[in-house]
Amino acid sequence: MILAKPEFHALLQATHASPHAALGMHPHTRGKGAGVVVRAFVRGAAECAVVDPATADAWPMKRLADEGFFEVFISKRPKVFRYQLRVTRANGELHQFFDPYAFLPTLGAQDLYLFNEGTEHRVYDKLGAHPRVIDGVPGVSFAVWAPAAKQVSLVGNFNHWDTRYHPMRSLGVSGVWELFVPGLGEGELYKYAVRDQGGHVRLKSDPYGTYFEAPPNNASVVCETRHFQWHDDQWMEQRRAAAGRPDRPVSIYEVHLGSWRRKPEDAHRPLSYREVGPLLADYVTEMGFTHVEFLPLAEHPFDGSWGYQVTGFYAPTHRFGRPEDFAWLVDYLHQRGIGVILDWVPAHFPRDSFALAEFDGTHLYEHADPRLGAHMDWGTLIFNYGRNEVRCFLLANALAWLERYHLDGLRVDAVASMLYLDYSRAEGQWIPNKHGGRENLEAIDFLRQVNDLVHRYHPGVLMIAEESTSFPGVTKPTAEGGLGFDYKWNMGWMHDTLRYFGKESVYRKWHQNDLTFGMLYQYAEQFVTVFSHDEVVHGKGSLLYKMGAWHIAEKAANLRALLAHMWMWPGKKLLFMGGEFGQSREWNHDASLDWHLCQYPDHEGLRLLVRDLNRLYTGDPVLSRNDFNPQAFRWISCQDADSGVLAYVRTDAAEPTCYLVIGHFTGATRTYRIGAPLAGKWRELINTNSEYYAGTGLGNEGARTTEDIPCDGQAQSFQVNLAPFATVIFKWVQ
């Protein structure tokens, strides 16, 4: 045996940190003769030979261990040459293949430098598993970051999950381990066996994996994401042309894919990506929404997390199909004129042992100190945004979703928890920043970076923040000191408005400020007005059953009045599925929405109203163009709390268009005089009490004409019939 015994035993015990230095072909001088030595470690091999494919010369190798370790010295061949291994199995089967240890690293010094610097924006093309052809040989390259590991091996079905047979090469101080395996292809299951400094081996899925098998095994699957042929060129060009235009209409239908619709004839299973596409596109088109927003579809092991506890950040979940099926869904929606937004979760990750937590035996992706690295509310771990490679992982993750799957926006989850070091922590449970403050400076810097990169590489893509505090400048450009988001969810408006509508009508007069307070900060950010999934879970009840009323018809009337107010309030729109038809029971992620309710007038009336509100909002640019223009909103009546009346106008300086919105939120029927900013005829566009929407039909005969009677600070006014719990929308026509 030429190999030194310590190295020999290290290879047999899967503890050798530099396998390419021992395995493969190397120049060697034996006595007076120069030649090469070749070593191979092949599972289940009874015999092994080195073959020169150019000449068909073969050199039998000596078997040094029953585990399949072979060595041979080839004299008179002083230079390394291209070779293959010819292996005879114990059952007589013969296999000839290229040796994984005959190939140079697939990552260059520049790749590693940029990764360690945190500026390799396409690191997802470098780390992970990628089918490649190297020197004419097809195979798969594997690369993983585990800087504190003592040794890393690639395991899978191809080596019976034995950590000894595919040890990976350490690429020095980069912390990256790499191996190219000829002959492997798509569909192979694999994991990384990461041996820490204490000798403990952790089987880890690939952080950059593009596809995963189902729990409980959670293995990564070799999958090329670039096969899909896209047909959305027209949509993508239109999106680029819309870059920098926050005034476009945006009305978002928020969807949990696993429970929107199910297949009752097939054990109520969820629909696949390809099954749901046409159904969802038909429905969204009919309802007039401009975008669909999916709750997280990155791979996650636990259905009950709704996708918010991610273990496969680069992989669409296996639950509904393969990655190309998800691409097909996005492509199909684009061809139908529907944008696609995905919830993205860079704020935290779960503690599952097969995923990111303590990846190489150290706190690699997370902070070691639980005061920085442990999320108090969800029992998860917080990314270390100050570590270059972690930041690189997350920045590239956002870009990968946009490049690979043509997404039109990312809604960034739990931004508030990222911004503040003391988020949901008591005194003594957090560490101040270097200035002694509570802001997470590293997370703030990360958010600015990701927003700038998305806008640079993918103009027209929307970045949306779920942020519930008064942190300044969330939607201000980074060049002006802001975070750089396009939009921010208006959580304050949502909480205040639901608090008001959750009260019985007799008590509402003492809470009129819940409806008006939001205007004090409405134009501080570029807001999306939202009723999301968060409002209909954890015992909160459905949107319909939040209404402060005793019977279903009155609840439906309240919800109709609320939704019309929401659609006419400044800002983009988002509504979680089921809210549009008044789902009665609280949302259940394990069951379909109760679509059968649409046979009943109260529920179908709500759905028809939302459809008409979308048509109004998207059909008149005056509304969306002025979502963020404080000059285009004016109160008419916001002080008549006893009558439960709220009135305002939406207008436009560029053209003589004006909408008058009157909300009446008590159980009385009133004939009410309202001031009008313009004299003439006002057409009644929408009355939520219309019989068409399952109301009583009391309205205003289609229009009202002003009289020269001053009211509400206006020179003219008209009388309007206000049904109980109704919102009426008028448009000035002359």
Q: From its phi and psi, is residue 481 left (phi > 0), alpha (psi between -120 and 50) or beta?
A: left
Question: Phi/psi at 218 (nearest 5 deg)?
Answer: 60, 30
**Can you name the residues that pair with 591 across neighbouring β-strands?**
none
8 Å CB contact between 116 and 85 = no
Sign of the four-CA dihedral 307, 313, 318, 321:
positive
Q: How many CB atoms lie within 10 A of CB 688?
A: 32
Residue 544, classed as helix, strand or coil, is helix
8 Å CB contact between 619 and 573 = no
8 Å CB contact between 162 and 101 = no
- Is 233 a residue of the active site? no
Structure tokens at 184: 């492997």
- Is 413 a residue of the active site? yes
Residue 81, classed as helix, strand or coil, is coil
Out of 254, 331, 466, 612, the active site residue is 466
Nearest to 518 by CA among 486, 494, 482: 494
8 Å CB contact between 194 and 175 = no
Structure tokens at 10: 């290290």
Residue 101: what residue type?
Y
Sign of the four-CA dihedral 393, 395, 396, 401:
positive
Out of 324, 413, 486, 627, the active site residue is 413
- SS3 for 421-486 is CCCCCCCCCCCCCCCCCCECHHHHHHHHHHHHHHHHHCCCCEEEECCCCCCCCCCCCHHHCCCCCC
CA distance 265 to 492: 42
CA distance 319 to 213: 9
Count of residues making up the chain: 734
CA distance 461 to 728: 35
Residue 520: what residue type?
L
CA distance 290 to 251: 5
**Cis? peptide before 216, omega within 30° of 0:** yes
Question: Phi/psi at 674 (nearest 5 deg)?
Answer: -125, 140
* C-alpha neighbours within 13 Å on the C-beta side of residue 613: 31
End-to-end CA distance of the chain: 100
CA distance 409 to 465: 11
CA distance 77 to 731: 90
* Burial (0-12, 13-18, 19+ Cβ within 10 Å), 304: exposed
CA distance 311 to 213: 12
CA distance 345 to 664: 39
With b for 16 or more beta-carbon neighbours within 10 A and e for fewer, the 461-494 pattern comes to bbbbbbbbeebeebbbebeeebbbbbbbbbbbbb
Angle, CA of 658, 660 and 665, to the nearest 5°: 160
- SS3 for 573-601 is EEEECCCCCCCCCCCCCCCCCCHHHHHCH
Give the catalytic positions in this structure: 413, 466
